[in-house]
Amino acid sequence: MTDKGDQRPGTPMPDFEALSRNMAQFVEEAGRVAAAYLKPYEEGRAKGGAADEVGDIVKTLGNVAEKWMSDPQKAIEAQSALTSRFLDLWASTLKRMQGEQAEPVITPDPKDKRFADPEWEENPLFDFIKQAYLLTTDWADRLAAEAEGLDDHTRHKAQFYVRQIASALAPSNFIATNPELIRTTLRESGANLVRGMQMLAEDVEAGGGQLKVRQSDPHRFEVGINLANTPGKVIFRNELVELIQYSPTTEKVLRRPLLIVPPWINKYYILDLNPDKSFIRWAVAQGLTVFCISWVNPDERLAEKSFEDYMREGIFAALDAIARNTGEEEVSAVGYCVGGTLLAATLAFMAANGDTRIAGATFLTTQVDFTHAGDLKVFVDEDQIRAIEQEMAKRGYLEGSRMATAFNMLRPNDLIWPYIVNNYVRGVSPLPFDLLYWNSDSTRMPAANHSFYMRECYLKNNLAKGRMNFGNTRLELSDVTIPTYHLATREDHIAPARSVFLGAQLFGGRIRFVLAGSGHIAGVVNPPAKPKYQHWVNGKPRGELDDWLKEAQEVPGSWWPDWIDWIAAQSPERVKARDPAEGPLAPLCDAPGTYVKMRD
């Protein structure tokens, strides 16, 4: 029987001499991993936070166990239910071992790629391991879901933590219980384990003593060369931002410039990955004078920079520079994710103070009402925020890796464990993938800014309630009467579509809501020339998202053309294109500038 890329069962014989050498080298590399892990502790620069997270997991699951044990009869019934299902599984497995047919007791989700190898089904032993895992994790999830007397937040955390533990303990993650990994290790006489341990040591060193799992080949990309390479100039810089003005590619442009306010949790170039995927390059080609904020990667010197500072020294500073360089007092603005949340708060502040410089706004996967904020709310309660604040106080900022890990935990079976298995067990370097390279290019966040955001938005939901204040100004989204365009994505785990839909209804002007296919990134970065996903339109958001969607029109392809039509309709007048090299503000350097190249 041939082994087709480890997709069919086979039992290759190892080279035992090579196996012995590789195992010796494996031990040596394991020592290197241990040294990389311990070095930051020996030098007094270890990054903290893990103990608090583990403590919260133990406390939360302990609450679940306490609720079950308070009713012994119910606990016995739950245990008996699991035992009964295992007896059914054992009977089914015995039949299969005797050559008889038997229906599975439980089957994985068809979309679950972990058990795609045929031997998970064809081999009774591995089929038993798979089903035993599925039965146990299903039972554990039910315990968290059905525990009586838990408050909603604790139940949400318990279910989330159970999923994380279940993902970590999947038999597909371990050599001894994964038929594909067994075949790979035997065929390569353990050389895969040596390569994996080498990569593990490198990644622990890169993470400063913590594992920073590589998701893409880090050596195949360079910002400004094959990423973020749309031509332009940095025309303004302060402590928080560099403002990029992009070079025109059309003779005429819309009079009203466009300002993009990206998130500061990652770098702005998610909107300028490469020429084929670049929203920025495409917008320039449509005849827009595009400006984009590039946020600094802050250190301890910027610890006191607040959410309001990001408005004043970010958005307001950019508006001033745009006015000086173009002579235009009105702009259209685009905010993405937390950049959109800041933009919304800024618009409410501007409305309260009679500032009309932003005449139309677009919000890409942006939450302003955090009622339905999804699994990220697991990390938000008073105890956890206080622990994060104590950690931030030591350095003045939150490590970018902390937020990156939280985002990856929303989809552990897609963004964590496949890479751990592929990198460190198969010993295969990940393919070069620009989006995942960007995903790993995380940024720090000033302590004051991040604390305000977590408390005011996620914990208290004050922006939606009209209770957020910048200085003496209360922010009321209903005061924002300019036209707004809101894009949600159907499978978003970070800004759930239901959350975006609810928040869009808080604005006071003409509202257009569009729902795109896919998730937080792929649903946004969906260029018309190579569209992967559709979108739905139905005008203004009303009622519940499910009801809106029932009456919506499904449109094949990218949402970008719908958006540019909306933008052009706001202010259709065109003028001579503006070259950033010839404006009143002398360029400071070429795009993408210097801030975007600052690594965490």
Using CA atoms of 147, 149, 152, 155 in order, give the dihedral in degrees to the nearest 10: -30
- Residue 193 to residues 27, 52, 171, 420, Cα–Cα distance (Å): 10, 32, 17, 12
β-strand pairing of 258-261 with 290-295? parallel
Amino acid at 580: P
- Specify whether the CB–CB gap between 344 and 363 falls below 8 A: yes
Spatial separation of the C-alpha atoms in residues 168 and 57, rounded to whole Å: 14
Residue 78 CB neighbours (<10 A):
17
Spatial separation of the C-alpha atoms in residues 54 and 52, rounded to whole Å: 6
Contacts (Cβ under 8 Å, ≥6 apart) of 358: 259, 319, 330, 331, 332, 333, 346, 347, 350, 482
Instruction: Fill in the DSSP letter of residue 459.
Output: I
Largest interatomic CA distance in the chain: 84
Closest CA to 316 of 277, 282, 353, 283: 353
Give helix 16-42 / helix 191-206 axis angle, nearest 10°.
10
Tokens describing residue 309:
């500072």
Tokens describing residue 573:
């007048």
Tokens describing residue 144:
């968290």
Burial label, 158 (beta-carbon count in 10 A; 0-12, 13-18, 19+): buried
- Residue 457 appears among annotated catalytic residues: no
Burial label, 570 (beta-carbon count in 10 A; 0-12, 13-18, 19+): middle
Residue with tokens 């503006």: 578
**Catalytic residue selected from 292, 337, 457, 589:** 337
- Residue 469 to residues 261, 317, 361, 380, 429, Cα–Cα distance (Å): 20, 20, 21, 21, 48
Which 3 state secondary structure label does DSSP give 363?
A: strand
- Specify whether the CB–CB gap between 456 and 368 falls below 8 A: no
Contacts (Cβ under 8 Å, ≥6 apart) of 496: 372, 373, 374
Catalytic residue positions? 337
